[in-house]
Amino acid sequence: MNPVRIGICGLGTVGSGTVNILSRNKALIDARAGCNISIVQIGARRDNPNCDTSKYNVTRDVFDVANNPDVDVLVEVMGGTTVAKDLILKAIENGKHIITANKALIAHHGNEIFAAAKAKGVTVAFEAAVAGGIPIIKAIREGLAANKIEWLAGIINGTGNFILTEMRDKGRSFADVLAEAQALGYAEADPTFDVEGIDAAHKLVILASLAFGIPLEFNKVFTEGITKIAAEDVTYAEELGYRIKNLGIARRTDKGIELRVHPTLIPEKRLIANVDGVMNAVLVKGDAVGATLYYGAGAGAEPTGSSIVGDIVDVARTLTASPEHRVPYLGFGADFVSAQPILPIEDVETANYLRMSAQDKPGVLSKIATILSDSGISIEAMIQKEAKDGESTVPLILLTNQVQDKKLAAAIRSIEALDSITGSVQRIRVEALK
C-alpha cells in the first residue's frame, strides 16, 4: 500500500497525545495499518511542550493543512464549531479524508459534513468524539451490527461523574466539588457545558444516530443538569438502594425515540452505577446480544489520542476500497437513515424520586398521597425523617411508579401549592436499566 500522509490541526491536549502515540508506537501502527503512516504537517497556533514537533512541518495557519496536496488525511482536534467546520469542508472539497474528535461539530453539523464527504467519496471518522478512549462508536456501528438496538444509557461526561462521586463518597456540596474539579482541570472556568448536560447531549445525539439510523438532531435532546442535586439527595438515594448518575439515555419506543440527558437514580447493583470519578461508561441493549457495557477513560491526551489513531488505522486500511464498500459514517447506508418521531420529554414515562420539606403534623402525607393517587401515581417507597430540634418541617422522600412526565409535573405543582409544603419539590428520574 502507498504511504498514508497525515495532517494534524490542533496541538492541544488531544493533538499532542495523538502526535506522541504516532511517534512512540509507529512500527506497531504501521504493521496494523499495512502501510507507512507519517505526519507530514501540523497546523497549530502555538507549540505544545508536551510533544516534540521539531521534526515536523508546522504551520500557524490550519488551512495550509487543508490545502496541502501532500496530505491524505486531515485530523481535526481544535474544537469549536466555526473554524473547524470551515476547515473540514475545505479539506473535503480538496478530497481529503477526515478524522475528528469534535463532538459539538458532529452533533450540530454532522449531516452537512457527511453529505459533503459522500459527494466527494471520502471518509469521515469520529470515534474520539464520544467517550474518549472507549471504542463505543465502532462497537455500535460494527460489533453490534446484527442487533436492533433497544436502548442505550451512558455516563459520557467525566466532570459531572467526578462531582457526583465526590458528593456521594465524602458528603460534599455540589459547589465545593465543582471548585475542586476546576482546580484539577476537569472542569472549565465556565463549566456550563459539563454541569448542564450540554456536552453529554452532543455525545448522546451521535450515539442515538448510530443506534437507530436517525439524522443528527441535537435540538431535540432534552437536557437537564446536575446543579440542583443536593448532598442529601445523594444520601437518600443510597438509603433507597440507588446511586445518582448523570446519564444520557436514548430509547426506542412504540411512540418514538427518547433522547434525554438528566440526573438519574439507578440501582446500586448495576455495574454502571459503580463507574466513579472521571471515568465513562456506556450500556447498550441489543435484541440479540442483550446488555453490554463499555468502560474506560472518557477524556485525556492519550486515551482520546488512542481513538484518533485507531481511526487513522481504519482509514488507511480502507483507502484502496471504493466508497460504497466502506463502513457508512453512521453505520447505515445513506438511503436507510430516516427521521423518526422524537418524543418530547412531557410524553416520556419514568419512575421518579421526590424530595420535599413538609410540616411535621398529621394529615400531610395523606394529602400528598391523595394528589398522587388522583393522578394515577402510586408510591413505591418512602423515607420520612424526624424533625430536627427547633424545626417544624421534616424531609419526606418518595419513590413513584412509572408515570408520564406531564402527569407528574402537574402533581408536583399541586403538592407545592399545599400550605404544609415548604419550597419546591426536588424531582429526579429513576431508571432500572434492565
C-alpha cell read off for 202: 452532543
Rounded alpha-carbon distances, angstroms, from residue 330 to 127, 149, 206, 305, 318 = 11, 14, 8, 21, 16
Between strands 37-43 and 58-59, the pairing is parallel
Which three-class secondary structure state does DSSP give residue 8?
strand
32-36, Cβ contacts within 8 angstroms, sequence gap of 24 or more: 32/313, 33/1, 33/4, 33/312, 33/313, 33/316, 33/317, 34/1, 34/316, 34/317, 35/1, 35/2, 35/3, 35/4, 35/316, 36/3, 36/4
Angle between helix 231-239 and 158-170 (nearest 10): 70
Closest CA to 257 of 311, 317, 211, 299: 211
Among the residues of 213-340, which ranges form H helices?
Answer: 231-239, 301-318
Is residue 407 part of the annotated active site? The answer reads: no
Active-site hit among 138, 203, 220, 285: 203
Phi-psi region at 35: left, alpha or beta (left = phi > 0; alpha = psi -120 to 50): beta
Catalytic residues: 203
